[in-house]
């Protein structure tokens, strides 16, 4: 077997100890790796690099295309950017895979039957990081969801389920509220799901879905969801399975992939030979499958299960009566190494024979370009007088246009015409103008309204165009409208 070039970062806090333990185990199991080590994290940040990664490190990642990364410490404040978010987005790592498995009775859990894989979209949603203070009272964060982004992650989830012999794929969204953004995610899930007739498919609104996941995780198999829900619920799922310290994570892109533990650098535990290396080790197991060294992955994973089963536990999962030996990071690694080649007898052994190393095919569907018509505009104003009727009636009398003022909302709730006096209003108003009798308009009509508003002394924060795509409105109505 040829040595696979990989990039390794030892990270901060407990990172160097758990990385050493992980590498010791996988190399002892026969992993063929050509390791290129890079420095990332705290030391780089503190040298004044706000990204926490030097340009030369990107060269290594782009060359090897495989990154095994220990957790890092992000210094508080000071404009430091999250290296994790930067790495995922810069390298196009669109899929985050987090298997959450319980190991009862060897690791305490309220859910002895749990084997859920959370597949989280990793690049879009509120993590686009586009935030603006719009008025003294109101800030905004843009939630961006794209059709290719949805299709890539949803297809990945179905392909993953097929490849690993899973039976069901569940989708969580909040499309009863966010009909455009989460609605697109759900729609793409339904569209792509048709191509996988052998898999069961279901969708839950994320709130009740999360409640069910926390209560009866055995009902779930593979769950795919947008970025924010996936971020939160994968930690919940890992924790209820037993411990966040036991879960590994893969971040997969079309070119590059990154493997890590889901936990952080636990600085208080650093340098004491205490930390549990299992999360990073399971991340490394996913890496070995990814690079086509599935037999080594299987050997490592089964020896690790046998170690858990034999009660050899680090402090975080140690339980008198269940555990037989409390060990440190190094001793745990040695215990796994000494069991290489053994299978667990109580826990179910894993098999990666069916896992193929070829990259998943992510051919996206071609979409026909829709007919796009501009039918109006939402103009957002910063306006301190809180009298909605006064604002609506004045604007109606002031603006001469091919468009009519059809409504005003404040934080999304309709306040004109016919608002309720009880509705709380901020200094942030959305004024919706639409073409008379549904007529199409053009951007010069928008500019004309902006000009009149500016001349009348109004302060415009931003505008959003209102489109019909193939004669279907592509914008939300006002609440209460
Ligand atoms: P953390 O995950 O580092 O620690 C949370 C708790 O879990 C602590 O009590 C810790 O002792 C325990 N713990 C975590 N991993 C463990 C392990 N392997 N073995 C035993 N116990 C373990 O979360 P935090 O304290 O919120 O964050 C610490 C630092 O890590 C922060 O700077 C944060 O930004 C960073 N962080 C990095 C990553 C990453 O690099 N992927 C992820 C999350 C947090």
- Mutating to test ligand 1, I would choose from 83, 248, 265, 267 the residue with most ligand atoms within 8 A of its C-beta, which is 265
**pLDDT tens sequence across 358-397:** 666 677 888 899 999 999 999 999 999 999 999 999 999 9
Residue 197, both tokens: 């007739």
The verdict on pTM exceeding 0.95 is no
CA of 383 to the centre of ligand 1 (A): 44
In angstroms, rounded to a whole number, what is the distance separating the alpha carbons of residues 106 and 110?
12
Low-confidence ranges of the chain (pLDDT < 50): none
Residue 78, both tokens: 């000071």
**Dihedral over Cα of 274, 276, 280, 284: its sign:** positive
- State the angle between helix axes of 329-338 and 294-309 in degrees (0 to 180), rounded to the nearest 10: 110
Q: What is the three-class DSSP state of 306?
A: helix
Residue 312, both tokens: 């050899």
Q: Dihedrals φ, ψ of 279, to 5°?
A: -60, -50
Per-residue CA distances from 224 to 178, 230, 258 (Å): 17, 8, 19
pLDDT score of 82: 81
In this structure, which residue's CA is closest to atom 37 in ligand 1? 264
- 402 within 8 A of 441, measured Cβ to Cβ: yes
Q: Dihedrals φ, ψ of 218, to 5°?
A: -65, -15
CA dihedral 290, 291, 292, 296 (to 10 degrees): -90
**pLDDT tens sequence across 397-427:** 999 999 999 999 999 999 999 999 899 999 9
Domains of the chain in start order, with CATH, are: 1-91+242-353 (3.40.718.10), 110-229 (3.40.50), 372-473 (3.30.70.1570)
DSSP 125: B
CA of 264 to the centre of ligand 1 (A): 3
Per-residue CA distances from 99 to 21, 223, 233, 429 (Å): 21, 10, 12, 44
Burial class (CB in 10 A: 0-12, 13-18, 19+), 438: exposed
pLDDT score of 316: 92
pLDDT score of 129: 81
What mean pLDDT is reported for the chain? 94
pLDDT score of 460: 97
Question: Which atom, in ligand 1's list, is nearest to the CA of 269?
Answer: 11
pLDDT score of 244: 82
pLDDT score of 120: 97
- Mutating to test ligand 1, I would choose from 51, 266, 276, 277 the residue with most ligand atoms within 8 A of its C-beta, which is 266
Per DSSP (E only), the strands in 270-399 are 312-313, 325-326, 372-382
What are the residues facing 169 on neighbouring strands? Answer: 201, 222
pLDDT score of 359: 62
């Amino acid at each position: 077997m040829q040595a696979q070039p990989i990039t390794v970062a030892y990270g901060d806090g407990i990172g160097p100890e758990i990385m050493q333990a992980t590498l010791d185990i996988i190399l002892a199991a026969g992993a063929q790796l050509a390791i290129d080590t890079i420095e990332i994290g705290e030391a780089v940040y503190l040298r004044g690099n706000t990204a926490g990664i030097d340009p030369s490190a990107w060269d290594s990642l782009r060359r090897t295309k495989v990154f095994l990364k220990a957790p890092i410490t992000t210094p508080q404040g000071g404009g430091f950017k999250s290296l994790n978010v930067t790495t995922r987005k810069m390298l196009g790592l669109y899929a985050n895979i987090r298997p959450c498995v319980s190991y009862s009775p060897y690791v305490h859990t309220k859910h002895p039957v749990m084997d859920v894989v959370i597949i989280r979209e990793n690049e879009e949603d509120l993590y686009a990081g586009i935030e603006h203070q719009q008025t003294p009272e109101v800030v905004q964060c843009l939630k961006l969801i794209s059709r290719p982004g949805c299709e890539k992650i949803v297809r990945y989830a179905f392909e993953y389920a097929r490849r690993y012999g899973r039976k069901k794929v569940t989708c969580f969204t909040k499309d009863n509220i966010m009909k455009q953004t989460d609605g697109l995610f759900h729609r793409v899930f339904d569209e792509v799901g048709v191509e996988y007739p052998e898999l069961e498919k279901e969708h839950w609104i994320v709130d009740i879905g999360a409640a069910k996941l926390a209560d009866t995780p055995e009902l779930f198999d593979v769950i795919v969801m947008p970025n924010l829900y996936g971020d939160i619920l994968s930690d919940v799922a890992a924790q209820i399975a037993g411990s966040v310290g036991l879960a590994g994570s893969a971040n997969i892109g079309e070119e590059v992939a990154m493997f890590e533990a889901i936990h952080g650098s636990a600085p208080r535990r650093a340098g004491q030979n205490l930390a549990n290396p299992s999360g990073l080790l399971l991340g490394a197991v996913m890496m070995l499958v990814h690079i086509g060294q599935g037999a080594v992955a299987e050997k490592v994973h089964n020896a690790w299960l046998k170690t858990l089963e034999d009660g050899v536990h680090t402090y975080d999962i140690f339980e008198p009566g269940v555990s037989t030996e409390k060990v440190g990071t190094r001793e745990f690694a040695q215990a796994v190494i000494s069991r290489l080649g053994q299978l667990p007898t109580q826990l179910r052994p894993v098999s990666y024979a069916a896992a193929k190393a070829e990259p998943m095919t992510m051919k996206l569907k071609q979409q026909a370009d829709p007919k796009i018509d501009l039918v109006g505009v939402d103009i957002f104003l910063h306006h301190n007088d809180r009298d909605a009727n006064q604002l609506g009636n004045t604007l109606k009398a002031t603006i001469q246009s091919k468009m009519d003022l059809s409504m005003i909302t404040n934080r999304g709730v309709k306040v004109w015409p016919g608002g309720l006096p009880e509705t709380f209003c901020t200094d942030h108003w959305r004024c919706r103008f639409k073409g008379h009798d549904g007529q199409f308009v053009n951007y010069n009509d928008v500019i004309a309204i902006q000009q009149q508003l500016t001349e009348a002394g109004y302060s415009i924060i931003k505008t959003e165009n209102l489109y019909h795509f193939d004669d279907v409105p592509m914008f939300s109505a006002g609440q209460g409208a």
